[in-house]
């Protein structure tokens, strides 16, 4: 699944600096320059992690952190010019996962991001792996596909394929990418295997809902389209 990071800082230079380094690491980056915009992007983008400054206009970092923690346990690293112990303790007590003071070294920021994401991923492995859409539930923990309220039989690779696509809505995958990410890098089969699995899934999923569909992107591959 794509790792999305929301960077929140009222200094545009810092936002762009972090965007540059994080995108080089393969992360998808969104930026916000005030607390209200940060909350809006948190809700619309569902980031995998947030880098959050304290001194922000409209809503400060403490307010943003409190609001997010009412809704989500998304990893949050506080980044601020303040370095006092009080601020660090307060941030951690309010639910921040880590704390970095400006001026910072970008390599340290990236190392801390990776460490926090590793911890979060280990915790998430203990949670139920499930995605839900209108009239569709895909549970990878129990390997169960529920369509329009009914459990539908699906072989493991079919279920893994639709789970992978539905976990990354509107992202287009080539057949080779799907073979690598669903079947594994050591799979040497024909890419038409993907077509066969998609065909079988369509027989189970087509016309179930107008809110989503399993789409072919001609000349490229497939995507789970959410309207």
User: Which pLDDT does position 187 carry in this prediction?
Assistant: 54
Same domain for 31 and 118:
yes
Give 186's pLDDT tier (boundaries 50, 70, 90).
low
CATH of the domain at 137: 1.10.10.10
Instruction: Check pLDDT > 90 for residue 29.
Output: yes
Q: Please tell me the total count of domains within the chain.
A: 2
Same domain for 85 and 10:
yes
Same domain for 80 and 170:
no
Range of the domain at 152: 130-226
Same domain for 115 and 84:
yes
- The residue to which tokens 């926090």 are assigned: 116
Instruction: Report the percentage of the chain scoring pLDDT > 90.
Output: 53
CATH of the domain at 60: 3.40.50.2300
Give 87's pLDDT tier (boundaries 50, 70, 90).
low
* pTM exceeds 0.75 for this model: no
Same domain for 220 and 140:
yes
DSSP 182: I
User: Which pLDDT does position 94 carry in this prediction?
Assistant: 80
Give 122's pLDDT tier (boundaries 50, 70, 90).
low
Same domain for 118 and 50:
yes
- The residue to which tokens 């916000």 are assigned: 32
Give 164's pLDDT tier (boundaries 50, 70, 90).
very high
Same domain for 100 and 11:
yes
153-158 own/partner pairs: CB under 8 Å, 24+ apart? 154/201, 154/204, 157/182, 157/183, 157/197, 158/197, 158/200, 158/201
Instruction: Check pLDDT > 60 for residue 118.
Output: yes
Same domain for 113 and 43:
yes
Token pair of 204 as six digits: 């189970």
């Amino acid at each position: 699944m794509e790792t999305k990071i929301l960077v929140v800082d009222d200094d545009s230079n810092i936002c762009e600096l972090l965007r540059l380094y994080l995108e080089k690491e393969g992360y998808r980056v969104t930026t916000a320059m005030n607390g209200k915009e940060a909350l809006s992007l948190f809700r619309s983008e569902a980031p995998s992690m947030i880098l959050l400054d304290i001194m922000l206009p409209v809503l400060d970092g403490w307010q943003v952190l409190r609001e997010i923690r009412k809704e989500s346990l998304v990893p949050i690293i506080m980044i601020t010019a303040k370095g006092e112990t009080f601020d660090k303790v307060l941030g951690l007590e309010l639910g921040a996962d880590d704390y970095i003071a400006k001026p910072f070294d970008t390599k340290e920021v990236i190392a801390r991001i990776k460490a926090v994401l590793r911890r979060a991923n280990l915790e998430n492995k203990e949670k139920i792996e499930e995605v839900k859409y209108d009239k569709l539930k895909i549970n990878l923990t129990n390997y169960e596909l529920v369509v329009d309220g009914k459990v539908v039989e699906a072989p493991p690779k079919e279920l893994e394929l639709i789970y992978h696509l539905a976990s990354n809505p509107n992202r287009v995958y080539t057949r080779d990418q799907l073979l690598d990410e669903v079947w594994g890098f050591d799979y040497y089969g024909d890419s038409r295997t993907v077509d066969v699995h998609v065909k079988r899934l369509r027989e189970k999923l087509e016309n179930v809902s107008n809110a989503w569909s399993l789409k072919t992107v001609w000349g490229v591959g497939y995507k789970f389209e959410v309207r």
